[in-house]
Amino acid sequence: MKLHILGCHSATPRSTVFPSSQIVETGNELLLIDAGEGMQIQLRKYKHKFNKIQHIFISHLHGDHFFGLVGFLSSLRLIGREKPMHIYAPVGLKQIIEMIFKLTQTDINYPLFYHELSSPESEIILETDKYHVKTIPLRHRIYTNGFLIQEKPALRKLNIEAVKQYPEIETWAYHNLKRGKDFVREDGSIIPNEKLTLPPTPTKSYAYCSDTVYKPDIIPFIKGIDLLYHEATFLEVHKDLAAKTKHSTAKQAAQIAKDAGVKFLVLGHFSSRYPDESQFKKEAREIFQNVDIAEEGKSFEV
């Protein structure tokens, strides 16, 4: 699992930075989270294939998180997309997009499915055989969700050298061994699974939290995860402004990461009032050491 930053700044786009958007690469899939202006340009720039994206997650209906979506959906039509696209977003986005397409007489020629979100509680919104995605209820000026992506446990790995010591174990039994089952010999004796297999690859987990006030009650949802992206629109010197606009400071994001016991923290959604973004990292490290700042084009291994 990898995180690729397309945009990580708040509100107004500038010549060198872009509003919120990112790609989570899991297996052979690309999951798109938020779609600020210029998102598809960034996809092109960093060579992420449009057709590998089948699921789009929009945190809330502020423009810097979805204004790039309509252009992207239109581009998919122009390049001849045929496979379905699924959008998970607050109630209202479907109406916005369909109105734009109606007034511009744009016909979408591929299946487009909307999964409208309105629950104040965490819920699983996507489940595959390899991972699931849950909402993380946040508190902003309008209805907002974060997203938690968690891999499902993988199969155990065969210890081939150990298996070869028992000629009666044929290939038909390998699947059961990978699923954790013991091997039963013809005389009824059992060879424990632990003697024949190795532990599976550890699962990975990633949480995206933007935009939100300091909200400690999200901690149970992100406890012990591998990577947390948390908004840090302001520095602590402007914590009153953060509270007023329902955003967080770098220090507050670091406190969430520390209290949740996450392995690594990435800060983003920076206000343009700060010319030196290294200040965010410096402030956060007073609370939590394993931290870095997001940057357009930067990738993080989960």
| Rounded CA separation 14/2 (Å) | 26
Element (H, E) at 78: helix 69-78
Active-site position among 64, 187, 226, 292 = 64
Could you tell me the CA-to-CA distances from 295 to 25, 33, 36, 146, 232 in Å, in that order? Answer: 17, 15, 15, 19, 13
Burial of 126 (0-12, 13-18, 19+ CB in 10 A): middle
Give the chain's end-to-end CA distance (angstroms, integer).
5
- The answer to whether 34 is a known catalytic residue is no
Q: Contact 268/229 with Cβ under 8 angstroms?
A: yes
Tokens of 79: 């390049």
| Rounded CA separation 98/102 (Å) | 6
**Residues with catalytic roles:** 64
